[in-house]
Amino acid sequence: MKILIVEDEPKAGEYLRQGLAEASFTVELVANGRDGLHAAMETEHDLLILDVMLPGMDGWEVIRSLRRQGNEVPVLFLTAKDQVEDRIKGLELGADDYLVKPFSFAELLARVRTILRRGKTGTEATSICVADLELDLLRRRVTRAGKRIDLTSKEFGLLELLMRRQGEVLPRSLIASQVWDMNFDSDTNVIEVAIRRLRVKIDDAFHPKLLQTVRGMGYVLEKPTSSP
Ligand code: CA
């Protein structure tokens, strides 16, 4: 599997290159948009990891140009800003997924594997469903059984993470780093509080209950296989 990384920050690029090489990928690393575009058009890659903020030609221009030339290589873009507009823009331009910096390497690897598993079928669904709960990534809207649910941006981020990784038990430490950009500190109950609020909104008035606490391990969102 061949991955092209376009990242102008040498340390970050090298870190990704090394990690992905250790995970047995063939990796090519370039440091600016123009070289990235050239490399992507020159050789076929299974995945392009594209930083948005690049000198000269930015990540948006690279993906736009690739798609215009009919290149459908899956793209995971890296954005430093946790901006709704950025995510929407990236997905609309045909990116397959995005990661907000800083992220853990484990998270990146998980996303990479998911995209590669999905293959080159092209457009990613813009909404995720678990039972009758639906999260619309483009409109940033959540509904359950057709009823609109209002969430804060942190709650949305938390739910998005749980839905993307549905069926997986997510430890608090992972949730903390992904949704709050913080290292997990067992003294804080910010995650418990957010989970409780989220549960009230998405589960209390509905059946079956989707958000489960796995004692001592974390949280999982899934449709129960059978409810006795
Ligand atoms: Ca950059």
- For the chain, 228 residues long, the average pLDDT of each consecutive 10-residue run is 94 94 90 96 92 91 91 89 71 83 89 79 69 87 95 91 92 84 72 95 96 94 77
Instruction: Please check whether residues 16 and 102 belong to one and the same domain.
Output: yes
Q: Compute the distance from residue 140 Cα to the ligand 1 centre, in Å.
A: 26
Q: Compute the distance from residue 101 Cα to the ligand 1 centre, in Å.
A: 10
Asked if residue 55 has a cis previous peptide bond (ω within 30° of 0), the answer is no
Q: Compute the distance from residue 53 Cα to the ligand 1 centre, in Å.
A: 4
Is 227 within a domain?
no
Domain, as residue range, for 151: 127-221
Instruction: Please check whether residues 56 and 12 belong to one and the same domain.
Output: yes
From 101, 119, 137, the end of a domain falls on 119
Q: Compute the distance from residue 68 Cα to the ligand 1 centre, in Å.
A: 23
Q: Compute the distance from residue 75 Cα to the ligand 1 centre, in Å.
A: 16
Instruction: Please check whether residues 97 and 6 belong to one and the same domain.
Output: yes
Q: Compute the distance from residue 188 Cα to the ligand 1 centre, in Å.
A: 32
Q: Compute the distance from residue 9 Cα to the ligand 1 centre, in Å.
A: 6
Asked if residue 208 has a cis previous peptide bond (ω within 30° of 0), the answer is yes
For the domain that residue 114 is a member of, what is the CATH number? 3.40.50.2300
- Report pLDDT digits (tens) over 6-64: 999 999 999 999 999 988 888 999 999 999 999 999 988 989 999 999 988 999 999 99
Total-model pTM: 0.54
Q: How far apart are the first and last CA of the chain?
A: 44
Domain count for the chain: 2
From 119, 135, 156, the end of a domain falls on 119
Chain centroid, CA 121 distance in Å: 18
3 state SS of 226: coil
**pLDDT at position 84:** 66
**Residues sharing a CB contact under 8 Å with residue 23, sequence separation 6 or more, in sequence order:** 109
Q: Report which secondary-structure segment, H or E, holds 196.
A: helix 190-202
For the domain that residue 131 is a member of, what is the CATH number? 1.10.10.10
Q: Compute the distance from residue 126 Cα to the ligand 1 centre, in Å.
A: 26
b/e burial code for range 80-112 (CB count within 10 A of at least 16 → b): eeeeeebbebbbebbbbbbbbeeeeeebbeebb
How far are the Cα atoms of 9, 37, 116, 192, 215 from residue 60, in angstroms, in the given order? Answer: 17, 11, 21, 37, 42
Is 106 within a domain?
yes
Instruction: Please check whether residues 135 and 200 belong to one and the same domain.
Output: yes
Instruction: Please check whether residues 86 and 146 belong to one and the same domain.
Output: no
**pLDDT at position 122:** 47
Is 228 within a domain?
no
Q: Compute the distance from residue 45 Cα to the ligand 1 centre, in Å.
A: 21
Q: Compute the distance from residue 76 Cα to the ligand 1 centre, in Å.
A: 14
Average pLDDT, the chain: 88
